[in-house]
Amino acid sequence: MDTGNLQMQGLCLALASLNELLVEKGLVSQSEVDRALARAEAGATGDDRFAELLAPQQRDAVCFPIRFLRLANEGGADLELSFSGLAKRVGMTKAQYNDQR
């Protein structure tokens, strides 16, 4: 496996854990974390070059970490962080892009 992929896995798990800690400490709510991540995804997908220059697989790569963190956030404290489990859920829940319909 590519080292970059392994680094991405570690980073996603670390950020998910930090988000969970922020919620646990009462510094932010789960809904605030979700709104922030939704804004990040909207910003990424709203970029003009997103649809024009990137293939659907590349778009998925850009959005994957955000979608991963949103799913981890939904699980809250009950979630046992498993990269493969969450990654599978990201793939199962992604919708087609507007230009793919």
Q: What is the per-residue pLDDT across 69-84, written as a single tens digit (0 to 9) for each?
A: 999 998 754 556 678 8
Domain limits for position 72: 18-93
Report d(CA 65, CA 4) in Å as an integer: 13
Structural domains counted in the chain: 1
Whether residue 47 lies inside any domain: the answer is yes
- Sequential DSSP letters for 2-67: -HHHHHHHHHHHHHHHHHHHHHHTTSS-HHHHHHHHHHHHHHHHHSHHHHHH--HHHHHHHHHHHH
Q: What are phi and psi of 26, to 5 degrees?
A: 80, 15
Whether residue 13 lies inside any domain: the answer is no
Task: For residue range 8-59, list pLDDT tens digits in order.
Answer: 899 999 999 999 999 999 999 999 999 999 999 998 888 877 778 888 888 8
Q: Buried (b) or exposed (e) across 47-77, using 16+ Cβ within 10 A? A: eeebeeebeeeebeeebbbbbbbbbbbebee
Whether residue 55 lies inside any domain: the answer is yes
Whether residue 3 lies inside any domain: the answer is no
